[in-house]
Amino acid sequence: MAKIKTRRYYIYYCIKIAFFLIGIIPRKISIFIADFLGKSAFFLLKKYRETTISNLNSVFSQAFIRNRRIAEDVFRNMAKTGADWIKLMSLKKEKLDLLVTGTQGLEHLDRALDRGNGVILLASHFGNWELLSIYLWAHGYSGAVIAKRLYFHKYTEFIERLRSRFGAYVFYRDESPKKLLKILKKGSILGILADQDVESVDGIFVDFFNKPALTPTAPVKLGMTTEATLVPSFMIRNPDNTYKLVIDKPIILENTGDKEGDVRRYTQEWTKVLEKYIRKYPEQWVWMHRRWKSTADKNTETITA
């Protein structure tokens, strides 16, 4: 146990050194280095490479060579995103506006906020998801993000400093849910990542790329309780390594009296929106996650499109 704890400290200080070095070099150089490291990771990390390729082969009918190319791009994108996270630790607002060169659909978010019941910002491990909330907080939007505490407290503290740079509150899953309700009652934004198979949270099976995938139901249940609006949002990397913020059409939750059916319907609706963007930008989602690891027989209710 002591050996594991010591290794975590070594990794932590290596990360701090990397943060310092990347922080002082121009972004173009850091992106170039990250791209090389991403390619290297694709060849060196066999377990994650095979999971990524296997996931792609299971949902896309393209030739194996094309899926392998997409898989390599997934690693490259993740590495470049990581380099940008480091830059975000010290980036000023005016530099942030040079990084995010376009927005689409902000009016959807504004109209949802005007309803007065708060907004659940539905995000995913797609593009640069940390930049998504940081950009909004830096431009006058207020709220919080839900996060999971990492297994080493220094990692958690490190990431929290990034997430709270422009005033966002970081809410952890083990905190009182009353804090969540207060945020939405104030008419603010609550950011949630809701695209992974996580056994520690409540979920149901919905159709995702024509296969049943265990999906968190917390966003929909919370929205039904508070009358908050669900707003799917994405921070998409452009070919020139700048970004575009895209806010999709809000999902306004209606209570039909069939609570279970409503939860299924809206969880499926959000999942289909996510699938639409992944099909368009497959290299920008984290395919190395075992998204379909849970099997449908663990849950009696499976929904299909």
Other Cβ atoms closer than 10 A to 81: 22
Q: Output the six-digit token pair for 131.
A: 């930049």
Q: Is 142's pLDDT higher than 50? A: yes
Euclidean distance between CA atoms 295 and 182, whole angstroms: 35
| Closest by Cα among 278, 173, 203, 198 to 234 | 278
Q: Is 298's pLDDT higher than 60? A: no
- pLDDT recorded at residue 77: 97
Euclidean distance between CA atoms 47 and 36, whole angstroms: 19
Q: Is 168's pLDDT higher than 50? A: yes
What stretches of the chain show up as alpha helix (H) in DSSP?
2-24, 27-44, 46-59, 64-88, 93-99, 106-114, 129-138, 153-163, 178-185, 218-226, 259-280
Please list, in sequence order, all residues whose beta carbon lies within 8 angstroms of the beta carbon of residue 2, skipping any fewer than 6 positions away: none
Q: Provide the residue ranges of all domains of the chain, joining segments of one domain with +.
A: 2-298
- pLDDT recorded at residue 152: 59
- pLDDT recorded at residue 178: 80
Q: Output the six-digit token pair for 11.
A: 């990794």
